[in-house]
Copies of this chain bind each other. A is one copy, B any other.
Amino acid sequence: MSQKPVHILNGYRVLDMTHVLAGPTATRLMAEMGAEVIKVEFPPLGDVGRGLPALSNGRSGYFVQQNRGKYSVCLGLKDPAGKAILTELIEKSDVFIENFAPGVIGRLGFSWEQVRAINPKIVMCSVSALGQQGELSALPGFDNIAQAYSGIMGMIGDPDGPPAFPMAGIGDVMTGVHAACAIGYALLHCARGGEGQFVDISLLDAYTHCHELNVQLYSLSGGEIEPTRAGSQHYAVCPVGLFKSPEGYLCIIALQPQWANVCRAIGRPELIDDPRYDTNEKRVAAGPEVVAIIEQWLAAQESDAACLEALERERVPCAPVLKISEVANHPHMRGRGTVRVVKDEKLGEVLMPGMPLRFSGFEHNQELVAASLGEHNEKILGEVLGYDAERIAALNAAGVLQANPDT
C-alpha cells in the first residue's frame, strides 16, 4: 500500500461498505483526497467488481479503477464477531457509506438510527438506485433502471425507435460524485461544530437533476410540449448535432450567432442571408436540407482534421466524435492527466480516467494502489481497533476474517 497522499481529507476515516460503481466512486474520490478509506467486503468473493472486466492475472481492471487507495477488510457479518468488529469500526470512523438495496443495511443491524446510536458524530450516506423511501424504492436497482425512470433514457436516441443504451456508467459515476459532494458538506458542517447526519443519494435524483430544460418546459407549456428524443440532431436548434464526415462523424453546434460562421467555413457565404435559412426557425423547419448542405461540404474534404480546421478557423464550435483509443492516446488528455497511467503490481501499467477534481494546493493524480481481498485485515484490526495477534488469529481460524491475495 502506498502512502496516503498529503491532501484535504488527511485525518478522516471512511468506512466503506459499497460495491460495484456508484458508492466506490464516492469513496475513491475521498481516497484520492487523502482519506483513510476502509473498504469492508464479504466472504468469499468480496466486491462483485472484483469479477468485472478487464481481468488479467486474476486481477480486475474494473475493481482497480474504482478502489485505488482503499484498505480492504474482508469480514463475515453473519457471525456476531463480524458485527461487533463493524460496530467498533463505526465508533472510530467519520463517515459510513453503503449502497445495498434500501432496507438491507437496517436488517444487518446498521440503519441510521442504529449507527447514530453507536456514533452520533458520524456522517452516514446511503446510495441507492431509486431512493430510500417511496413506492419504487424496493425495485432492483441498476444505473439504466434509474435512467429509464428519470426520463433521461427516453431523451436519447431515434424518435422512431428504441432509445439508445449508453455504453458507459454515466449515472453511477455522477451519483458517486453527488454522494462525495453531500458527504463533503456534511463533514464541513461537523468541522464547524454541527452534528453528524444521514445523507440519502440516489441515481434517480441525480439523473432527474440533469433535466435542465425538459421538466420546466413541459410544465410551463401547461403540458402542451412533451420533449422527446430527437436522434442525432437537436429538435429546436439547427444546425446542432452529428454530421457525417470523411472519417466518421463530427459534432457541430451552431446557435444563431454562429450561422454566418458555418456558411463561411463551408464556402457558402451566400447562404448567410438566404431567406430560406436566415432564422433558426426556418433552419429547423428545413433541417434535412441544412444537414445535407453541411454533409455535402464535409464529404468533399480530405480528412476530419481538414474539416475541423476549416470550422475552427471560423470559430464554429465543433469536435470529432473520438473513439476510446483516440481518447486514451490524445495528447490533450494525456498531457493534462484526464487519462492517466495507473501502475498496478498485477495489471502492469493501465490507462484510466484521471481525478476529475483538481486543486492547486495538492498534487493531481496521486499514485495509489488497490488492495487484494482482505489485505488489511490485520493492519486495520490491529492499528485501528487495537486487537492483538492472538485475537486476530482466532478470527482468522473462525473464518470471520478472510483474505485472498490472488485478487
- Assembled-state Cα–Cα distance A174/B209 (Å): 9
- Assembled-state Cα–Cα distance A205/B336 (Å): 9
Establish whether residues B315 and A163, one from each chain, have CB atoms under 8 Å apart when the complex forms. Answer: no
Chain B residues near A173 (CB, 8 Å)? 209-210, 212
Instruction: Give the interface centre of A52, A194, A325, A354 by most chain B CB atoms within 10 Å.
Output: A325
Establish whether residues A166 and B162, one from each chain, have CB atoms under 8 Å apart when the complex forms. Answer: no
Establish whether residues B325 and A208, one from each chain, have CB atoms under 8 Å apart when the complex forms. Answer: no
Chain B residues near A201 (CB, 8 Å)? 356-358
Chain B residues near A352 (CB, 8 Å)? 215-216, 219
Please provide the chain A residues from 173 to 221 with a CB less than 8 Å away from any CB of chain B in the complex: 173-174, 177-178, 180-182, 184-189, 191-192, 194-195, 197-202, 204-206, 208-221
- Assembled-state Cα–Cα distance A317/B149 (Å): 12
Look across to chain B and name the residue whose beta carbon is closest to the beta carbon of A174: B174
Chain B residues near A395 (CB, 8 Å)? none
One of A80-88, A135-143, A268-276, A277-285 contacting the partner: A135-143
- Assembled-state Cα–Cα distance A168/B347 (Å): 37
One of A39-47, A58-66, A70-78 contacting the partner: A58-66
A331 within 8 A of B: yes
- Assembled-state Cα–Cα distance A233/B164 (Å): 8
One of A150-158, A377-385, A386-394, A398-406 contacting the partner: A150-158
Contact status of A136 and B188, CB under 8 A, knowing A148-B322, A167-B155? no
Chain B residues near A107 (CB, 8 Å)? none
Chain B residues near A182 (CB, 8 Å)? 357-359
Chain B residues near A137 (CB, 8 Å)? 332
Query: Which residues on A are within 8 Å of B, measured CB to CB?
Result: 8-9, 21, 25, 29, 33, 52-54, 56, 61-62, 64-66, 112, 130-131, 133-137, 139-142, 144-158, 161-170, 172-174, 177-178, 180-182, 184-189, 191-192, 194-195, 197-202, 204-206, 208-221, 223, 225-236, 240-244, 249-251, 253, 312, 315-328, 330-333, 335-336, 338-339, 347, 350-354, 356-361
Please provide the 9 A-B residue pairs with the shortest distance between their CB atoms, ordered closest to farther. Answer: A181-B181, A184-B184, A148-B319, A151-B327, A54-B220, A162-B242, A219-B351, A198-B360, A61-B216
Q: List 7 A-B contacts (CB under 8 A).
A: A8-B186, A61-B219, A149-B330, A168-B213, A177-B181, A201-B356, A211-B327
